[in-house]
Amino acid sequence: MDAKHILYLLRKSPYSSSNAVEALDSALVAGVFEQNVSVLFKDDGVWQLLDGQRGAAIERRTVGNVMQALPQYDIEQLFACEVSLNERGLQLEDLALTVKPLSLEEQRKLITRQDAVVND
Amino acid sequence: MDAKHILYLLRKSPYSSSNAVEALDSALVAGVFEQNVSVLFKDDGVWQLLDGQRGAAIERRTVGNVMQALPQYDIEQLFACEVSLNERGLQLEDLALTVKPLSLEEQRKLITRQDAVVND
Amino acid sequence: MATLHLVNSQTALQSCLDVAADDDSVLLIEDGVYGATTDVARALLVLAPDVEARGLKDRIPSTAESIDYDQFVALVETHKPIVTWC
Amino acid sequence: MATLHLVNSQTALQSCLDVAADDDSVLLIEDGVYGATTDVARALLVLAPDVEARGLKDRIPSTAESIDYDQFVALVETHKPIVTWC
Amino acid sequence: MKFAISVHGAPFSSSAAHSAYRFAEATLDAGHKIARVFFYHDAVRTGDSLSVAPQEENTVIDRWAELSEKHEFELAVCIAASLKRGVINDEARDRYEKPAANLHPAFTIVGLGQLIDAIAGADRFISFGA
Amino acid sequence: MKFAISVHGAPFSSSAAHSAYRFAEATLDAGHKIARVFFYHDAVRTGDSLSVAPQEENTVIDRWAELSEKHEFELAVCIAASLKRGVINDEARDRYEKPAANLHPAFTIVGLGQLIDAIAGADRFISFGA
């Protein structure tokens, strides 16, 4: 089967439910299966990127750590919504992962290139 | 045991989950147990009041019908947030239940009078 | 091919509209249909059973087209990708 | 007795603030703690473990007081009713 | 003081079960009593004995069981909410001809009246929503 | 066309299971094929055979079973998501020493790779979120 363009559109905060960490697990597996994977953090999903998380404080896996595994699974197209970052006062140096900020127009183009979009 | 002042603060839309209908069931039981029950519909909870619902279209109980049972269980202190109604363009004649619209200040006073507040 | 946006909550609608292209289709389902009761400056589709369950039939403006599940499937045939906003 | 408002999502915060009296206490827990990262024109309390899990320690302004579960219980002792906003 | 606590969110799907547990523990540490912990809505899933908690994450069910045994309060699961969410005791297993029951032995299936009873008999009522 | 469908919300707690079912049915009526329906996140609860649906409400599990049998597609429940939410098959019952299994026989426990496999092999992927 040919590799597909799959975008993970991650919009949920890291600890409100298990969805954030489960969606990241899914992205990692898509990487293992050698699909053409992109990840876009948007809306409350950008909180997943924040450095210094410590899930142990509430007995949960640290989402920031799971997220940091993405590049090790050859997932290198990592994006964040510029507007979502700005609204939350998040600078790129506050983040635990190197992501490329995208304008709304760039996000529109990113979505158009996909075969499938997986949400959290 | 003395009757307590219990407020049901209902803020969820009727069909997003089972919470709305389950919270109404709980209010009915509080009526049976002869507590001093008030109900305040607020935020998306005011959508529960809208006339003409037909849950059967999505194979669910019709929340509007459950809600209409409140007066039969001697629950007569029925309120709705005035601001929430206005924001959604809802007039009192659009509703399946007679409720008294309350200003934010009146809601503040209503809450202050309670022993317990149950949310949906 | 144009994208189909599936919106199933009212809070997600704005995020969707921010990135939807003009020739994309936006379909509101489940609680997303409440989004059609407010002014939105673009064409929207709503899923009929979800509108009916919520008693919104008379509150959806004529600019929003009501469709059934068969038409929903037809939309999926002619669009790619399908993006869910919840 | 003053009311204790327990807020566990950011979207619920405004609804809470709309009806909270000046001498009420507002405690942000779980995802509610994100609400303290934006400007709010009143005193807020935040639950420390929820702030720590989310990596927000340095992003909560000094106007928001961080408390632990023991202090949470003490607040419940001195307030009635307790209203949950989620 | 006597506390009544209700919990509305499922473990793993919300933080309610964890927050409620930590609060209950702190309440008892402070010398208060708990009248009853009432699990409603998706929180009825807390009483499911078949779930397998992942490593690193909280196994809240066994700790609820220990706490309730030590401090003698009831872990009450609402019957109407639990049947449809697949948390059933032996009686429901027999009545609905299901192959097994899965309610944890430390939990009890009760009606909504027990929530109202707990509220009516307590000095404070607090709910952990979702 | 070949469709891959994923579902993210639990029955009763979200509308996702119902919407996805109606969509799957219409898809097959239109002559399309379904590669696989993948239940992830809270939607793994759809595969629980112990739940007792209330009257008037949808008993979506049996209809999923009928549809998948008739049209020969897989009802796949994600293993990582289902263990912690208490949906287990016989193998997990034995491995984790649980008193019973509760997975409905029409459903299969699979890994996340099966989601990616379904997406890779389908003409369209659609998810019903929560």
Q: What is the CATH number of the domain that holds E87?
A: 3.40.1260.10
At C63, which amino acid appears?
T
Of C9, B19, E80, nearest to F13 by C-alpha is: B19
The predicted complex's ipTM stands at: 0.96
Task: From the candidates F78, F79, F110, F122, give the one annotated as an active-site residue.
Answer: F78
Mean pLDDT of chain F: 94
pLDDT at E111 over 70: yes
pTM confidence score: 0.97
Thinking of the domain B5-119, which architecture would CATH place it in? 3-Layer(aba) Sandwich (3.40)
Tokens 């946006």 belong to: C5
Pinpoint the alpha helices (H) of F73-125.
79-84, 90-95, 113-121
Q: Which two tokens stand for residue F50?
A: 């112990």
Hey, which residues of E are catalytic here? 78
Are C55 and B57 within 8 A, CB to CB?
A: no
Shortest alpha-carbon distance between residue F55 and chain A (Å): 30
Q: Is A30 helix (H, G, I), strand (E, B) or coil?
A: helix
CATH code, domain carrying D76:
3.40.1260.10
Tally of CB atoms within 10 A around F63: 15
Q: In chain A, which stretches have pLDDT less than 50? A: none
DSSP single-letter state for residue A67: H
Confidence of residue F56 (pLDDT cuts 50, 70, 90): low
Residues of A within 8 A of E13 (CB-CB) are: 17-18
At B44, which amino acid appears?
D
- Give the model confidence (pLDDT) of D29-83 as tens digits: 999 999 999 888 899 999 999 999 999 999 999 889 999 999 999 999 999 999 9
Confidence of residue C30 (pLDDT cuts 50, 70, 90): very high
Q: What CA–CA distance (Å, rounded) separates B113 from E123?
A: 15
Domain spans in chain A, listed from the N-terminal domain onward: 5-119
Interface partners of chain D (CB pairs < 8 Å, 3 or more) are: A, B, E
Tokens 């010398």 belong to: E31
Task: Print the domain residue range for E28.
Answer: 2-128
DSSP single-letter state for residue E29: H
Q: What CA–CA distance (Å, rounded) separates C6 from C1?
A: 16
Which pLDDT belongs to residue A1?
A: 60
Task: Print the domain residue range for D25.
Answer: 4-85
Confidence of residue F12 (pLDDT cuts 50, 70, 90): confident
Tokens 């049996």 belong to: F62
- Give the model confidence (pLDDT) of B68-108 as tens digits: 999 999 999 999 999 999 999 999 999 999 999 999 999 99
Chain C 53-82, residues with CB within 8 Å of chain A CB atoms: 80-82
Shortest alpha-carbon distance between residue A49 and chain E (Å): 20
Question: How many domains, in total, are found in chain C?
Answer: 1
Which pLDDT belongs to residue E56?
A: 61
pLDDT at E55 over 80: no
Tally of CB atoms within 10 A around E80: 17
Are F54 and B60 within 8 A, CB to CB?
A: no
- Give the model confidence (pLDDT) of E15-41 as tens digits: 999 999 999 999 999 999 999 999 999
Question: How many domains, in total, are found in chain E?
Answer: 1
Chain A residues with CB-CB distance to C under 8 A? Answer: 7, 9, 11, 42-43, 83, 104, 107-108, 111-112, 114-117, 119
- Give the model confidence (pLDDT) of F38-47 as tens digits: 999 999 999 9
Confidence of residue E58 (pLDDT cuts 50, 70, 90): low
Are F84 and E52 within 8 A, CB to CB?
A: yes
> Looking at per-residue confidence, does F52 or B11 come out higher?
B11
User: How far separated are the first and last CA of chain F, in Å rounded?
Assistant: 26
Of A97, A93, A57, A92, nearest to A76 by C-alpha is: A97
